[in-house]
Amino acid sequence: MKLRSLVLALVLPCVGGCLNTGYLAPVAGTIGAIGLAADDFLETEYLSAALVAYAIYDPLAPNWTIEVVPRNETRARIDMRLRKLITGGEGEARVVFMRNAQDYAEEQGFAGFEILRYEEGLESTRPFAQRYATGDIKLVGMLE
């Protein structure tokens, strides 16, 4: 439902522009209150606008970008950034951090890790704010 709202929010300004230039004429059998026929949404302009909206939003892209920076043999920093256009994912930073720290520890041949430092917050960037989480871990319990 949120995807539909996003697509309509991006497509409606195009519809207004097309109505002003005469590309569309209101017809009977309308969709909602905007006065368009169902066939009008299959025109090239609307399909293009829908594809642009989908490319910007991309619901299949991962919510977090994660970068693991090794400091030495037993320490690493994990930096995570939540993508800017999202539907959900705001409360999962610690869970994603823990899962990636454990995966990194196992890849390096360790049984686990200790969190030395962890913080999460919100950076006020323009045009959208962006959530982040970062932390330092120490790898412990060498596997044999």
CB 80 within 8 A of CB 93: yes
What average pLDDT does range 96-110 have in this prediction?
A: 96
Every domain of the chain and the residues it spans: 2-57, 64-142
Tens-digit pLDDT profile for residues 34-62: 555 555 556 777 777 777 777 666 666 67
Quick one: pLDDT at residue 53? 72
Cβ 115 vs Cβ 101: under 8 Å: yes
Distance, in Å, from the CA atom of 118 to the CA atom of 75, rounded to the nearest integer, reads 14
* Element of type H or E holding 42: none
Give yes or no for residue 26 having a pLDDT over 50.
no
Average pLDDT along the chain: 77
pLDDT at 3: 52
- Check whether 8 has a pLDDT greater than 90: no
Residue 59 is predicted with a pLDDT of 65
Q: What count of other Cβ atoms lies within 10 Å of the Cβ of residue 65? A: 12
